């Protein structure tokens, strides 16, 4: 069975609870909120960086395609909800995200990144992790990449 740290494919995904920016507002989000749906949980290093907005915008812009297959997309970094909101409120032409159709989780304590094995401890940021969690909260895909390596939304779908 494939394993990364304490994570194992087909085994339960670590539960988490975090503040998030959802539709421009601060909300509490838990993995258990999505029981009965698939979840794509992706981690990115920092707000206001050059590679991140492209991926995050792509996941957001295609969120309806994910919803059509009973899947929700969640983004997560070690930034605060205030940083997330500032990035969302910055126009895309100025390096911001603009309107987001997916929640952005704030992992200020780095607990979620650590649980999912993608925390770059020496910098306090997450590697680019992507986890597909099934409708019973079991891990179906575990991918962790170096900071400069991006992801494909098409491949994830």
pLDDT at 3: 44
81 is in which domain, residue-wise? 39-146
Domain membership flag for residue 28: no
Domain membership flag for residue 2: no
CATH of the domain at 101: 3.40.30.10
Domain membership flag for residue 57: yes
pLDDT at 72: 98
> Do residues 155 and 132 make contact, with C-beta atoms less than 8 angstroms apart?
no
Q: Six-digit token pair at 152?
A: 């494909």
Calpha distance 84→82 (Å, rounded)? 5
Domain membership flag for residue 124: yes
Domain membership flag for residue 14: no
- Model-level pTM? 0.91
Through-space distance between the first and last CA atoms of the chain, rounded to whole angstroms: 23
Calpha distance 51→147 (Å, rounded)? 9
What pLDDT tens digit does each residue of the chain (157 aa) get?
444 568 899 999 999 999 999 999 999 999 999 999 999 999 999 999 876 688 899 999 999 999 999 999 999 999 999 999 999 999 988 889 999 999 999 999 999 999 999 999 999 999 999 999 999 999 999 999 876 555 555 565 5
Q: How many domains does the chain have?
A: 1
Domain membership flag for residue 93: yes
Active site residues: 52
Domain membership flag for residue 13: no
71-77 and 38-43 beta bridge pairing: parallel
């Amino acid at each position: 069975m494939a394993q990364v740290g304490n994570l194992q494919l087909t085994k339960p995904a670590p539960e988490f609870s975090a503040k998030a920016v959802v539709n421009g507002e601060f909300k509490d989000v838990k993995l258990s909120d999505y029981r009965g749906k698939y979840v794509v949980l992706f981690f990115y290093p920092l707000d206001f960086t050059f590679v991140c907005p492209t991926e995050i915008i792509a996941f957001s812009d295609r969120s309806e395609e994910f919803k059509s297959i009973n899947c929700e997309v969640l983004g997560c970094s070690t930034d605060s909800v205030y940083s997330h909101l500032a990035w969302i409120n910055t126009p895309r032409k100025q390096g911001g995200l603009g309107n987001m159709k997916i929640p952005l989780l704030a992992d200020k304590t780095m607990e979620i990144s650590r649980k999912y094995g993608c925390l770059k401890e020496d910098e306090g940021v997450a590697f680019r992790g992507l986890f597909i969690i099934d409708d019973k909260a079991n891990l179906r895909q575990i991918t962790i990449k170096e900071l400069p390596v991006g992801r494909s939304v098409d491949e994830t779908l």
